[in-house]
Structure 1
Amino acid sequence: MRFTDIWNTPEPEVGPTYRIPVWKKNKATLWYYPAKKKKYSIPLFLVYSLVNKAFILDLAPGTSMIEAFVNAGYDVYLLDFGIPGYEDKDISLDMYIMDYIQSAVKRAFRHSEAEELTVIAYCLGGTLAAIYAAVSEEPIKNLVLNVAPIDFHQYPVFDQWIEALKDGEVDHSIIDAIGIVPAKFMEAGMRMVSSPVYFSHYLSLLARADNQEYVDHWRRFNKWTVGHVPFPGKALKQLTENIGKDNKLVNGGMVIEGKNADLSNIHANLLVITAENDRLVPIEMSSPIMELVSSKDKTLEVITAGHATFTVKDGLPPHLDKWLSKRSNPLY
Structure 2
Amino acid sequence: MGTKVLGTNLFSSLNIEKETKRWNQLYKIIAEPKLDIIPTPRECVWKKNKTTLWYHPAKEKKHAVPIFLVYSLLNKVYILDIGEGNSVVGGLTERGYDVYLLDWGSPGLEDSNITLDNYILDYLEKGIKRALRHSGAKEISLAGYCLGGTVAAIVTSITDLPIKNLTLAAVPIDFSIGIVPDKWLEGLQKGDLSFDQFAEAHETIPSEFLYLMFRMLSPVYGSPKINLITRAHDEEYVEKWRRMDKWTKDTASFAGAAFKQMFNDLYKDNKLLKGELVIGGKKVDLKNITCPLFVFSCSRDTLVLEQQSLPVIDLVSSEDKTYEVYDGGHVSLALTGVFAEIWDKWLSTRSIDQQKELVKLYGI
Could you say which TM-score interval applies, normalised by the shorter chain?
A: over 0.9
Name the CA shift for 1:284/1:50 in 2 (closer, same or farther; >3 Å): same
**Counterpart amino acid of residue 4 in structure 1:** Y
Name the CA shift for 1:156/1:27 in 2 (closer, same or farther; >3 Å): closer
Identify the match of residue 164 of structure 2 among 119, 132, 141: 141
Which consecutive residues of structure 2, in runs of 5 or more, have no partner in the other structure?
1-23, 358-364
Residue 4 of structure 1 aligns with which residue?
27
8 Å contact from structure 2 (residues 112, 257) kept in 1: yes
| Cα distance between partner residues in 2 of 1:298 and 1:261 | 19
| Cα distance between partner residues in 2 of 1:83 and 1:236 | 13
8 Å contact from structure 2 (residues 108, 253) kept in 1: yes
Name the CA shift for 1:311/1:4 in 2 (closer, same or farther; >3 Å): closer
8 Å contact from structure 1 (residues 121, 144) kept in 2: yes
SS for the counterpart of 2:245 is: helix
Name the CA shift for 1:92/1:314 in 2 (closer, same or farther; >3 Å): closer
| Cα distance between partner residues in 2 of 1:39 and 1:112 | 14
1:255-281 CA distance string (max 9 Å, x none): 111111111111111111101111110
* 1:115-126 to 2 correspondences below 5 Å: 115-126=138-149
Q: By how many angstroms is 1:295 displaced?
A: 0.7
Q: By how many angstroms is 1:3 displaced?
A: 1.9
Name the CA shift for 1:315/1:248 in 2 (closer, same or farther; >3 Å): closer
Please say if 1:184 is aligned against 2:208.
yes
SS for the counterpart of 2:101 is: strand
**Counterpart amino acid of residue 334 in structure 2:** F
| Cα distance between partner residues in 1 of 2:258 and 2:205 | 10
Output the TM-score relative to the length of structure 1.
0.95
Residue 78 of structure 1 aligns with which residue?
101
Residue 322 of structure 2 aligns with which residue?
299
Please say if 1:194 is aligned against 2:196.
no
Residue 316 of structure 1 aligns with which residue?
340
Q: By how many angstroms is 1:314 displaced?
A: 7.8
Q: By how many angstroms is 1:72 displaced?
A: 0.4
Q: By how many angstroms is 1:184 displaced?
A: 1.3
| Cα distance between partner residues in 2 of 1:71 and 1:265 | 33
1:6-55 CA distance string (max 9 Å, x none): 22124333133100000000000000000011111100000111111111
SS for the counterpart of 2:166 is: strand
* 1:226-237 to 2 correspondences below 5 Å: 226-237=249-260
User: Which shows bigger deviation, 40-49 or 157-166?
Assistant: 157-166
Residue 129 of structure 1 aligns with which residue?
152
SS for the counterpart of 1:326 is: helix
| Cα distance between partner residues in 2 of 1:315 and 1:173 | 38
8 Å contact from structure 2 (residues 114, 258) kept in 1: yes
| Cα distance between partner residues in 1 of 2:170 and 2:339 | 20
Please say if 1:164 is aligned against 2:192.
no
Identify the match of residue 211 of structure 1 among 221, 225, 234: 234
SS for the counterpart of 1:188 is: helix
SS for the counterpart of 2:310 is: helix
Name the CA shift for 1:266/1:206 in 2 (closer, same or farther; >3 Å): same
Identify the match of residue 43 of structure 1 among 66, 80, 88: 66
* 1:240-279 to 2 correspondences below 5 Å: 240-279=263-302
Residue 13 of structure 1 aligns with which residue?
36
Residue 89 of structure 1 aligns with which residue?
112
Q: By how many angstroms is 1:193 displaced?
A: 1.4
Is the radius of gyration larger for structure 1 or structure 2? 2
| Cα distance between partner residues in 1 of 2:41 and 2:336 | 18
Name the CA shift for 1:315/1:121 in 2 (closer, same or farther; >3 Å): closer
Over the aligned positions, Cα root-mean-square deviation in angstroms equals 1.7
Output the TM-score relative to the length of structure 2.
0.87
| Cα distance between partner residues in 2 of 1:325 and 1:103 | 25
Number of residue pairs the alignment of both structures matches: 330
| Cα distance between partner residues in 1 of 2:271 and 2:217 | 23
Please say if 1:61 is aligned against 2:84.
yes
Identity among equivalent positions (%) equals 46
Which consecutive residues of structure 1, in runs of 5 or more, have no partner in the other structure?
none
Name the CA shift for 1:200/1:225 in 2 (closer, same or farther; >3 Å): closer
8 Å contact from structure 1 (residues 19, 31) kept in 2: yes
| Cα distance between partner residues in 2 of 1:198 and 1:24 | 30
SS for the counterpart of 2:309 is: helix
Residue 12 of structure 2 aligns with which residue?
none
8 Å contact from structure 2 (residues 179, 304) kept in 1: no
User: Which shows bigger deviation, 166-175 or 55-64?
Assistant: 166-175
